[in-house]
Amino acid sequence: MKIQNLKLPGAKLISPTVFHDERGYFLESHQQVRYKDLGIDETFVQDNHSFSKEGVIRGMHFQAGQAKLVRVASGKIYDVIVDIRPDSPTFGKWEGVILGDADHQQLYIPEGFAHGFCVLSPEAHVLYKISSYYNKEIEQGFRFDDPEVGIDWPIKMAIVSERDRANPYFYELRWS
């Protein structure tokens, strides 16, 4: 297993060891002790599965006190994180990585980040672990196309839910 620190502090790109043979392949998608040894000391309490079609953008979403471990079971996505920690030197900055079923990479997103993705393949199944239970009362978001954040999405025409289109702009949120 290899781990790469991303530009935004705390975020990590994980390349698991994949064992191939004539039957196909096997990999450990998560192993608590091994991940802790790599500096990811989270207790994940919920697994989520998202299915989306090409051109879909989901985001930007966040929930206080929640870390995520994201991977793609099938398809390919452009996965984006935004630092929303007000005291961070990278507050408001974003970073994007491509995740797909070909290389099985995972994105670890620590607490204090917003998350979103767009689908680059005809379909994508995205699996993610979260460190606190989903709570619609405290979930928040901001617009995926916020010019202040300036995410460079690699698609021209986006399919976005009405809920995500109704999110406020980044500067309209209270960051204290």
Which residues belong to the active site? 61, 128
DSSP for 77-121 reads EEEEEEE--TTSTTTT-EEEEEEETTT--EEEE-SSEEEEEEE-S
For 164, the 3-state DSSP assignment is helix
Torsion of CA 7, 94, 115, 140, to 10 degrees: 130
Integer angstrom CA distances of residue 147 from 74, 86, 111, 175: 31, 19, 24, 18
- Which DSSP category does 56 fall into? B
